[in-house]
Amino acid sequence: MLNISHNKLNQKVGLERYASGKKVFHRRHYKHLNRFLKAFSVMALIMLFLPWTQNVSGEGFVTTLTPDQRPQTIQSPIPGRIEKWYVREGDYVKKGDTILHISDVKNEYFDPKLIARTEQQIKAKNMSVNSYTEKVKALNNQVDALGREENLKLQQARNKLLQSGLKVKSDSIDLEAAKTNITIAQRQYDRVVQLQEEGLKAVTDVEEKRLKLQETQAKLISQENKLLAARNEVINARVELNRIRAEYADKISKAESDKFTAQSNQFDSEAQVTKLENEVANYEIRSELYYIRAPQNGFINRAIQAGIGETFKEGDRLVGIMPSDYQQAVETYVEPIDLPLVQLGEKVRIQFDGWPSIVFSGWPNLSYGTFGGEVVAIETFISDNGKYRVLLAPDAEDHEWPTGIRVGSGAYTIALLDDVPIWFEIWRQLNGFPPNYYQPETTTAKAEKK
């Protein structure tokens, strides 16, 4: 067996005498085998030159074409407690249908008459605003009345000042007249005294003139006093005029200060009214949030928060819903090395999980059970799985996708690229080279059109 012995068994024992040996070592079988090998070699050589369609494969799942048609969860923007369910899992709901009723868990919203009481506060504050408005009007009238009264008082004081001035002028003229009279009386007295010394006048005449001179002097002093008194009246009139101005300025300032205070209170009350109205609007909106409604037509998938009396926080997911009206699409993932080969508008063959199919990746025309797709979106940033996400829509020129598939089903995609010989594809696969750079005609046509 290991050719250790020099005695070779095959030379001493003939295998042709056995039936199996006769069949194996018969020269006729050699001819058939040689013919088969020759035919197989020719066919293999011919097959090496047959066309092979390069492709980029990927794995994904069925989704929807637009984000608003995809499965979603319904959250509550406020914390609460579940009170009642109106649906069951699998039920069909229309947009706006009530799914469940919740109650509030915050103590500031426990009052069942919260909105009514807040509206009463608004009415009270509105009455306060009206009161302050009327007070402002009254103070405006008071300021106007004080202004008119000040004008009258000032006019009266100016008249009195004018009268005092005229009296000063009159007393000044009387003083000048008194001075003239005393001068005349002094001359007459001196003349009578001289005549009396000469013996022409009696002593009684001298005494009369002296008495008249004294009376004239007294009148002069009296007139000077009157002039001083008149001048004092002028000063008093000016002081009174300034006093009136200061008095009414103080009164008007106080009235305006009260008016501004009333206006400030009025504005503060209006701000409180606006704040209360905002609170009422928030309470009304919050009361509407106690009923969780369907955002669109669809089917209830799963109740995430189940039971009665269970509490949850704001933003917690309560129930999942699947829209009933949607356009199917396939979300697949390709390797980064193959991403430059995928273009918008490129045709893709799709094999759905659970759908019978026979796939020849290099000969798409011989494949059975695959459906056409078209690239409508390519992700510009790599996903968490280290691949790039590509969104496929149904090809309008191909067969319709089966109605039995559901969102979330698995899918295997084959993006068709350039046609090359089989020997080239084998050589590329053995060397680990990427497929030939390929740009579909649709993309080229769009670029030329632009």
What is residue 111's three-state secondary structure? coil
Q: Are 317 and 100 in contact (CB under 8 A)?
A: no
pLDDT tens-digit readout, 253-265? 999 999 899 999 9
Q: Is the pLDDT of residue 346 over 90?
A: no
Q: Is the pLDDT of residue 406 over 50?
A: yes
Highest average pLDDT, of 129-143, 190-204, 343-357, 391-405, comes from 129-143
Q: What's the whole-number average pLDDT of the chain?
A: 81
- d(C-alpha 352, C-alpha 359), whole Å: 11
Highest average pLDDT, of 11-20, 146-155, 414-423, comes from 146-155
What tokens appear for 278 in the block? 């905002």
Question: 160-164: which pairs have CB atoms within 8 A and are 24 or more residues apart?
Answer: 160/237, 160/240, 161/234, 161/237, 161/238, 161/240, 161/241, 163/237, 164/230, 164/233, 164/234, 164/236, 164/237
Mean pLDDT of 106-114: 86
Q: Is the pLDDT of residue 236 over 60?
A: yes
Could you tell me what percent of the chain has a pLDDT over 90? 21
195 vs 10 pLDDT, higher one: 195
pTM confidence score: 0.59
Q: Are 141 and 119 in contact (CB under 8 A)?
A: no
pLDDT of residue 15: 61
Q: Pick the range with the lowest mean pLDDT from 60-64, 169-173, 376-380, 386-390.
A: 169-173
pLDDT of residue 448: 47
Q: Are 245 and 154 in contact (CB under 8 A)?
A: yes
Q: Pick the range with the lowest mean pLDDT from 8-12, 76-80, 88-92, 114-118.
A: 8-12
pLDDT of residue 450: 43
